[in-house]
Amino acid sequence: MQADSTTEQRVIDKIRGLFPEQILQVEEFIDSLYKKNTTNTDSEIAFVAAKLSEPAFEKIWDNPDDAEYDKL
């Protein structure tokens, strides 16, 4: 979701009014939000990729020799 320019300007104006230590805290918070969003995206991509590969692996996995592993 993209913030509009008015919202962005309000946030920038508020940041400019902070002490330097507080600005560092804001930056750390923003970094943590960014990392959370990136991590979720990466894990979602991995999950989708795994689901898409299931049909290809079914032929390999679904056989009598590997039936014992199904019980694990």
**2 pLDDT more than 70:** no
* pLDDT confidence tier of residue 1, bands split at 50, 70 and 90: low
3-class DSSP state for residue 1?
Answer: coil
Report the alpha-carbon distance of residue 52 to residue 64 in Å, rounded.
23
Taking only the tens place, the pLDDT of each residue in 16-45 is 999 999 999 999 999 988 887 777 677 788
One-letter amino acid at 63 equals: N
Report the alpha-carbon distance of residue 30 to residue 72 in Å, rounded.
42
pTM of the model: 0.49
